[in-house]
Chains A and B, each alone.
Chain A
Amino acid sequence: MSEQKKIIIALAGNPNCGKTSLFNVLTGMRQKVGNFPGVTVDKKTGVLFLNDKTEALVVDLPGTYSIYPRRIDEMVTFDVLANPDNDSHPDVIVLLADASNLKRNLLFCTQVIDMGIPTVIALNMMDVAEKNNIRIDVSKLEEELGVPVIPMNARDGKGVDKLLKILSADVLKPKRNFIDIQKLCGEATELSNKIPYSNEYEAALLAVLHKELTDFPEEKHKLIDEWVAEKKFIAARFQAEEVLQRYNSINRVVQNCVNEEQKENKSLENTSRIDKILLHPAWGYLIFLGVFFFVFQAIFAWAQYPMDLISSVFSSAGNYLHDLLPAGMINDLLIQGLWAGIGGVVVFIPQIMLLFGFITILEDTGYMARVSFLMDKLMRSTGLSGKSTVPLISGMACAIPAIMSTRNIESWKDRIITIMVVPFMSCSARLPVYTLLISFAVPSQTIFGIFNIRGMWMLGLYLFGFLSAIVAAFIMKLIIKTKEKSLFLMELPIYRLPRWGNVGVTMLEKAKVFVTDAGKIIVAISIVLWFLASYGPGNEIQEVEKKFTDTAFTSQFDAIELDALQQSEKLTHSYAGHIGHFIEPAIMPLGFDWKIGISLITAFAAREVFVGTIATIYSVGSTGDMDMNKLRARMHSEINPQTGEKVFSFATVVSLMIFFALAMQCMSTIAVVRRETKSWKWPMIQLFYMTGVAYLASFITYQLLK
């Protein structure tokens, strides 16, 4: 049997140069999303069979314009390439370069070549270059760069065969240097002798960047610090001079290899023409509104059909299994805890897939960069950036996909602030709560002939959520400190048609990541919540059950009433009921009694659960066959036994609305924030600050209206 060889191939290159397409072509559906150790960056890997003897693990590195990172995920690229101890340190690196824009792409290419890692350059987007009369002498370019150069079009797979052929043979270390390191920093030789595996250029890079590395040995840090102090090494000067020297070499390479006719660049002209409409002061914003109205409509309204379908399939399958399995605690745990928890995860998939389908299309076509361009100034006055637009709008449907879409925000500070304020936007789960509360407290009246007051209240609550998000962002902008400056500086890619394969892959991948990562936490919390609502201290629950087997008592009611009553009493005596009593003194000043307290606890599973819990407590039946009018009537007649006043007074109901608008009551959001920030710190801060603000605001509301 022949010996199997496993190698690591890294894909790197500028953003927008077709890296994702090539990655998809090379690895097909054999992809996995993990993460780079120690940082909040997704690591996409895939398997590629080069020949019967060699299997390659392809690692997709974050796109970057330079080896010097401008954000956290670009640091990963340097870490992987410069650190031989890194798990993903490649045997070969495939560098993507955009042929239609070679000069800028060569900066990063020459940096990597100078690091001495075996390199193959995939010269992508040859079609765009040809269309714009840019001719590249590939063999000359190979000679100048000293590494294999393969012209290709990753979108339609052209040139991939040749790339695979080169990769199955041994790729040699490049020997070419594009900067004169001796002239730039002669002292680097000394440093490179001290640090194993590093050439002079790498040593100098380490001197600039070593403090940012995640897993770098302490003694090397010390070694470099000493050297920096001794040689009075100034990082910024080295970087600036390196870039200057590099462009000198690159200009020579481009002069020798690229023949660009001074005709018009068709792609850019077309793009300019489209920009004239899409960035127009009036049409631009109108089209923007139209596009996002459409996207919002899709995740808000259309996603409802598959979501309802999933809910009903899960609940009827749950009922079926519940009857099938022997009754008892295990049955309840499996069906009401685990199965319902899984259902609570799966139900988000339609929204996530739809939103990411649209986002990928908008990005692929180049429109997303224009959205940032149009909105940047407006958003920046609130402490956010142009790139926060999409997450904020999506937040009005659901915070889960919205928070997942903050991935596109490069600046760490902008991204954290966006994540922290998105849940203030009124999501669709608040809708049933608002509907119940508004219909309860506000009469259905029409003013000015067309406006229904209830509708105005609903609109008011949406605006309130939006304003809260803006104010919170503004305050956080002042609080959160970072040395990283928010940069806009971004390429506005030419307009192209979306790659449908890419759209599909992204939709599946996002759904998968959500289910596997955030899903676990959601299932765990829902089991805990189920336990709290179904079991009680001592034998209180058994007492209730005993009472309902007593025919003298049960004969007064019909079967449906009886079931509703039993559920209500069980909940009252459960742990959740006890917690409701326990927190009553704390929520009394907000106008809430212990029954509302129970509902607030169960609403942590998802806000809309509030309605179902209130219905259960007031024994008007569970969610399935609930009668809203009956519930409202029951709420009206509820009297506080201590004060003799109505529990659901106007002040209490408005206070509840404010509480739901502001409080962090969604375990799925917490799970997804934990997954996106890779720590418990941010979701916990979010949970406490939002709930704190909600408490305060409800307190003020109630005390004023009382």
Chain B
Amino acid sequence: MRILRLPMNKVAVPLSLLRKGDKAIIVSLDDSAISIKLMEMGCMPGEFLEVDYIAPLGDPISIRIGNYLLGLRKDEAVAIKVIKQ
């Protein structure tokens, strides 16, 4: 768990590690099938996002990207690498 305490504004981390209210910029997407779907939904490198909500049971999460809210499971969010703002 120590890794989580490293300053996240320098390294790219999976979106699934962010907490509620965190703002971040997408730097890359994994080379996986889900990535194409994520990109189609607007999760492109260079886009800003904000973690709007995390479901009470810890999964899924809701992010604000572009002008809308996107709900996704944590195992889907892993494919998105972000740098915290």
Contact = CB atoms under 8 A, between A and B. Distances in A.
- The prevalent SS among residues of A at the interface is helix
A100 to B, nearest CB: 6
B76 A488 contact: yes
Interface string A97-129: 000110110010000000000000000000000
Contacts of A369: 71
A103 B65 CA distance: 11
Contacts of B73: 376, 488-489
Interface string B19-60: 000000000000001111111111010000000110111111
Contacts, number: 110
Contacts of B72: 488-490
Interface in A68-112: 68, 70, 100-101, 103-104, 107
A271 B69 contact: yes
In the complex, which of the residues A65, A271, A488, A490 has the most CB atoms of chain B within 10 Å of its own CB atom? A488
Contacts of B69: 268, 271, 491-494
A704 B36 CA distance: 56
Contact of A268 (B41, B58, B67): B67
A275 B67 contact: no
A265 B33 CA distance: 32
Nearest to A285: B56
Given A104-B42, A104-B66, A239 B56 contact: no
Interface residues of A, number: 43
Contacts of A392: none
A275 B76 CA distance: 22
A374 B36 contact: no
A239 B73 CA distance: 23
A275 B56 contact: no
Interface in B58-85: 58-60, 62, 64, 66-73, 76
Given A132-B67, A488-B60, A488-B73, A373 B55 contact: yes
Nearest to B70: A491
Interface string A522-565: 00000000000000000000000000000000000000000000
Contacts of A239: 36
B36 A279 contact: no
A204 to B, nearest CB: 15
Interface in A27-79: 65-66, 68, 70
Contact of B56 (A65, A281, A490, A493): A281
A352 interface: no
Given A104-B66, A272-B53, 12 more contacts: A65-B41, A66-B40, A101-B66, A101-B68, A104-B42, A268-B68, A272-B64, A275-B52, A275-B62, A279-B55, A376-B73, A378-B57
The 5 A-B residue pairs whose C-beta atoms are closest, nearest first, are A281-B56, A492-B69, A66-B40, A377-B57, A104-B42
8 contacts: A70-B37, A268-B64, A272-B64, A284-B56, A372-B71, A485-B34, A491-B71, A492-B62
Interface of A: 65-66, 68, 70, 100-101, 103-104, 107, 132, 134, 236, 239-240, 243-244, 247, 265, 268, 271-272, 275, 279-281, 284-285, 369, 372-374, 376-378, 485, 487-494
Interface of B: 33-42, 44, 52-53, 55-60, 62, 64, 66-73, 76
